[in-house]
Amino acid sequence: MENILNSMVIPFVKNVALAIVVLLVGLAVIRRIGAFVGKQVERSKMDDTLKPFMMSLVEGILKVLLVISVIGILGVDIASFVAILAAAGFAVGLAFQGSLSNFAGGVLLLIVRPIKVGDYIEANGFSGTVEAIHILNTTLKTPDNKVIYIPNGQLSNTSITNYSVKEIRRVDWTFGVGYEQDGEKVKSVLTDIVNAHPLVLKDPEAFIRMSNHGASAVDFTVRAWVNAADYWTVYFDIIETVKARFDQEEISIPYPQMDIHMDK
């Protein structure tokens, strides 16, 4: 009995202990290698969009090799282990279907390049700036500094609105004035405001026309082209300037009508 313990249990315990040590040391080494590779990738001239994907891929491969090494130390025949995985391939495929889909989606995003790091996009009901495209997911940073993780599989199979692809964008406004106001005067004031803004492009030319007869106001649509980076600056500047000029020119802005329901 003692011989059996010595010949089976003790070697097994040694193998388990060695496997644990190799696993812990291996994870520490992988972290260091990942940090080193990360620094080298950051210093390289590689596209910023590819950098996080490559770092995630390197760490993933190293972890897979570490797991295979630990399995070998435990005494499991690697060939047999691979054969078992192959025999259970269907079940494994189903279990990792989502992950494989996300990996394939990440590769597709990098090949087709509908987005890149730094782009402001809207997809899957979320919007934000692309921070990184990893192996399995893409991270977005929202304007209020939240981080959103979208699986690559979903992102590669959904409609994406990319606000950063084109260098220029169109800004649209609608301003309502009272029916008693002179339409030509309103158009002239709006034209002066838009043309005077230093960030509004002269080509394409701005569009300013009466666009709707509302219940309590006449609406004027204003459309101007700006560099993409200046979109929100121009948007808010024009709104503030229009209010100030309308007050100065005594152009009335009707209050919105409110429905008042009284209980009988």
Q: What is the pLDDT of residue 62?
A: 82
Cβ contact 156:115 at 8 Å: no
pLDDT in tens, the chain (264 residues): 455 555 556 666 777 787 788 888 888 888 888 788 777 777 776 667 767 777 777 787 888 788 877 777 777 666 665 666 565 554 545 445 567 788 888 888 888 889 999 999 999 889 999 999 888 899 999 989 999 999 998 998 899 999 988 999 999 999 999 999 999 999 999 999 999 999 999 999 999 999 999 888 999 999 999 999 899 999 999 999 999 999 999 999 887 655 444 444
Question: Class of the 104-162 domain?
Answer: mainly beta
The pLDDT of residue 28 is: 86
Q: According to CATH, what is the number of the domain 168-248?
A: 3.30.70.100
Place of tokens 């009988």: 264
CA distance 167 to 164: 7
Specify the residue for token string 């691979």.
Answer: 82
Helices marked H in the chain: 2-4, 10-43, 50-73, 78-87, 89-95, 97-112, 152-155, 183-196, 231-248
2-87 topology per CATH: Helix Hairpins (1.10.287)
Question: DSSP state, 263?
Answer: -
Task: Return the HEC string of 123-180.
Answer: ECCEEEEEEEECCCEEEEECCCCCEEEEEHHHHCCCCEEECCCCCEEEEEEEEEECCC
For 72-89, b/e burial (b = at least 16 CB within 10 A) is ebeeeeeeeeeeeeeeee
**Sequence ranges of the domains in the chain:** 2-87, 104-162, 168-248
Q: Model pTM greater than 0.85? A: no
Q: What pLDDT score was predicted for residue 121?
A: 94
- Assess contact for 197 and 230: CB atoms under 8 A: no
The conformation of residue 211, written as its DSSP 8-state character, comes to E
